[in-house]
Amino acid sequence: MSFDELYKKAKFVVNPVKLSEYAESGGVGAAILSESGNVYTGVCIDTACCMGFCAEHAAAAAMITNGESRVLKMIAVGSDGNIMPPCGRCREFISQINIENLKTEVMVSDNVIVTIKELLPHDWK
């Protein structure tokens, strides 16, 4: 699957919604291509006291719920359509759920693809 197709799947789930006075969701969408060829998507949940999580975490949770942990490719897209690199927490999270995920290809901006290993050059593991 190409990153163009993953981009479309991530963009499709973007739907900013105010959940309450203290929380909103859907401002960022992510798509993950697993080793089996399945695509998992997720959206961010932002809360006033930092208890939310990123779209990449939501997509990874869906993947893990379905018995998978190996990520081949991933992408995150903001509500403006711009591609966003994963935050440090997401980089670390993906690297820890499967050691092979250090090879995961991540689109960090238009036509720029790097690996999780490149995003974590001085990994503690």
Which amino acid appears at position 13 of this protein? V
pLDDT score at 19: 96
Contact 49, 57 (CB under 8 A): no
Residue 69 has pLDDT above 90, yes or no: yes
Torsion of CA 33, 37, 125, 93, to 10 degrees: 40
Q: Quick one: pLDDT at residue 63?
A: 98
Q: Is the pLDDT of residue 123 over 90?
A: no
The rounded distance, in Å, linking the Cα atoms of 58 and 63 is: 9
What is the pLDDT at residue 50? 82
pLDDT tens digits for 70-109? Answer: 999 999 999 999 999 999 999 999 999 999 999 999 999 9
Q: Which two tokens stand for residue 122?
A: 């001085």
Determine the Cα–Cα distance for residues 69 and 100; give it in Å rounded to an integer: 9
User: Among 29-38, 42-51, 68-77, which is the least confidently predicted range?
Assistant: 42-51
Domains, the chain, ordered by start: 3-119 (3.40.140.10)
> pLDDT-derived band of residue 124, with 50, 70 and 90 as boundaries?
confident
Residues forming a β-bridge with 49: none
The model's pTM is 0.94
Q: Are the CB atoms for 108 and 91 separated by under 8 Å?
A: no
